[in-house]
Structure 1
Amino acid sequence: MVTAMMLKTYLEIINKLDGIVFIKRNCQVNERRHLKNNAHSHSMEIDWKKNETIVPNLESYELATSMMNSEWMLEKPEDIENWIAVLCPEGKRCCVIAQDNKTKSVNKYGTSLFHFPSLFPYGCHLPNNCPSHRKRTVLDCIYNFKIKKFYILDIIEWMGVPYTDFDAEFRFYFIQSKLSEIPGINEKSLKNTYPFELAPRMRTSELYIHLMEKNQYFHDHVELDGINFYYPESMYTPGDSPLMLWLKIFMIPEILHKPINDQLEQLYRPSNYVNIFEYIQNTKKKSRKNRRKKSTSSSCDTMEVDSMIEVEPEKDPAIGNDMCMEN
């Protein structure tokens, strides 16, 4: 005979079982809902990826657009003799990035120009090169199409350490010492497709002597494009900088009031040259005209180049290759 006490106990057990079943059922329902929501979100993700637009590499773009550019030297700085003069060859200004055991050069828009191995840290597959996406070596360079060679102007980053907050004098000393520690960096090889060389540099006071004695400043008959003058204590800052000034070599007598030898003047001075101000205005006009002409045809700056393509960009001889304008 079932007593009242036993009935009460049975009812408590049944209630507990119902609670357990309800909890389990509720978990199963939620799990199914979660799976359904996941499936829906997954299909949405697939649809989004189908419609996703491929954009240029943001990291390369940020690096390229943060490069320091020179301004025209319209008047002589008082302490110009102590500034560092960097001789710039004719070529294309670019940013060289060594990362993840490969190297690439990008133009001022961040578009990749070349992909190649180099002997810089993280620039190719070497036993001592441990790939790390967060670490890279970044250099400010000029690429000469004639001899397929990079000339280093400045250093931006080395093995993941930025050097933009160091002054120009230290940056130039540092990159020169690092280049001396990399055997074969100035030669072409399987691990170093393009040779790299530090662009010649000296105090402006020393430059005056060279301008009177020398006519050729680069090997293999590479032409001199112009001279960048760096204030020794200047940091590497993005955009145009008044602490990095640019002159064509035939402008030196006009602005710095120092002579150059006759052969240099005959070689580089345009026959219709009047003064630096008129030269800048004419260059701007021709540059705008050239850009309008190029806008009608496809440009390599509008797409990412996956393989290495060596095509020298169209260049108007009348415009030249001004560092502060084109490069």
Structure 2
Amino acid sequence: ENIDDWILVPCPKGQRCLVVTYSGRTEMYTKAGRRRMYFPSLLPGGSGPRGSKMSTILDCVYSAGEDTFYVLDALVYGNQELVHCEAQFRFFWLRSKFEECPELCVTNSHNKKSFKYLPRYDFENVADISEAFQRYPFWSENVPQLDGWLFYHKESSYTYGTTPLVGWLFAFMVPHILGIEVNENYERPIDYSDPIIYMDDFDAKLAGLKHKHSTKSSYTKESDSLDTIEIDDEENMD
């Protein structure tokens, strides 16, 4: 397959989630569909009566250490449905909206959590791809830490669950799979021998971790004041 048809996105360590705004409030949901927190934000529909008729849904990674949402993708932005749009257009739309509202990166009383747009790299630009794979740490002072790389086919629509049009690799797998060199600091684990075997083992361990946490009881705290409200102590996982 033509590698030029793909877009590279760095994925930080954290909790994969959906951020949903509606009726003037912003909520975070885990992959299991549990509401984790709610708070005001500057996303369309995210705070105040002016946002009561707007809605936004973002696919994010939440880093608790930085208290920041790193935005991977968008399903809806300000009532504009993007699910059936090609990835290349969705990313263009997202970037333009973040450029229009740089305050999304700043925390204040109207935007309790920081939202940051993740960089994208087009495989048609060989120099940019090489620079991305050779950079270590990827983010300044290794904050946040890089978890791995997501690969989006340019023409892919947003798909729930697994799809061959979105791929994932840990940094140390890139030379083995793509034949592209990465920074030598991305060392292979001792137990790594084959990428398929390693990912199967990783997925099995992750599934076991999810099952363990799914048996935990949770509770909901409600409040009349729309500040940041934590719902439960969900696990961090990708």
In the TM superposition, what are the counterparts of 1:1-327 in structure 2 within 5 Å?
78-125=1-48, 129-132=50-53, 135-204=54-123, 205=126, 206-212=128-134, 214-219=135-140, 221-265=143-187, 269-294=188-213, 297-298=216-217, 300=218, 303-304=219-220, 306=222, 308-309=229-230, 313-314=234-235, 321=237, 327=238
CA RMSD of aligned residues (A): 2.2
Deviation at 1:219, TM superposition (A): 4.3
Deviations 1:161-207 (A, max 9, x none): 21111111111011110111114110111000011001121113332
TM-score for the superposition, normalised by structure 2: 0.87
Q: Give the direction of change, closer, same or farther, for the CA distance of 1:291–1:240 in structure 2 (3 Å limit).
A: closer
**3-state SS in 2 of match to 1:139:** strand
- Find the aligned partners of 1:312 and 1:200 in 2 and give their Cα distance: 29
What stretches of structure 1 move > 4 A for 4+ residues in a row? 310-315
C-alpha change, 1:130 and 1:313, in structure 2 (3 Å) is: closer
Q: Larger % of helix: which?
A: 1
In the alignment of these two chains, the number of paired residues is 229
In the TM superposition, what is the alpha-carbon distance from 1:313 to its structure 2 partner? 4.3
Q: Deviations over 1:243-293 (max 9, x none)?
A: 11111111001100111121223xxx2122111122123223323443454
Scaled by the length of structure 1, the TM-score of the pair is: 0.65
CA-CA distance at 1:92 after TM superposition? 0.6
Q: Residues 87 and 228 of structure 1 are in contact (CA less than 8 Å); yes or no, is this contact kept in structure 2?
A: yes
Offset, 1:90: 0.3
How has the CA–CA distance of structure 1 residues 259 and 170 changed in structure 2, closer, same or farther, with 3 Å as cutoff?
same
**Which ranges in structure 2 are unaligned for 5 or more consecutive residues?**
224-228
Partner of 1:49: none
The residue type paired with residue 32 of structure 2 is: Y
Structure 1, unaligned runs of 5 or more: 1-77, 316-320, 322-326
CA contact (8 A) 1:117 1:191 kept: yes
Q: Which has the higher strand share?
A: 2
SS of match in other structure, 1:200? coil
For the residues of structure 2 that align with 1:286 and 1:114, how far apart are their CA atoms? 27
Q: Distance in 2 between matches of 1:145 and 1:173?
A: 27
- Tell me the SS of whatever aligns to 2:189: coil
Decide which structure has the larger Cα Rg and report it: 1
SS at match of 1:120: coil
Change (3 A) 1:312 1:247: farther
Q: Indicate the SS of the match to 1:241.
A: coil
* Counterpart code for 1:97: V
- Preserved CA contact (<8 Å) 1:87 1:200: yes
Provide the rounded CA distance (Å) in 2 between the counterparts of 1:101 and 1:314. Answer: 27
User: Is the contact made by 2:55 and 2:79 (CA closer than 8 Å) also made in structure 1?
Assistant: yes
- Report if aligned partners of 1:115, 1:306 keep a CA contact under 8 Å in 2: no
Larger CA deviation: 113-122 vs 220-229: 220-229
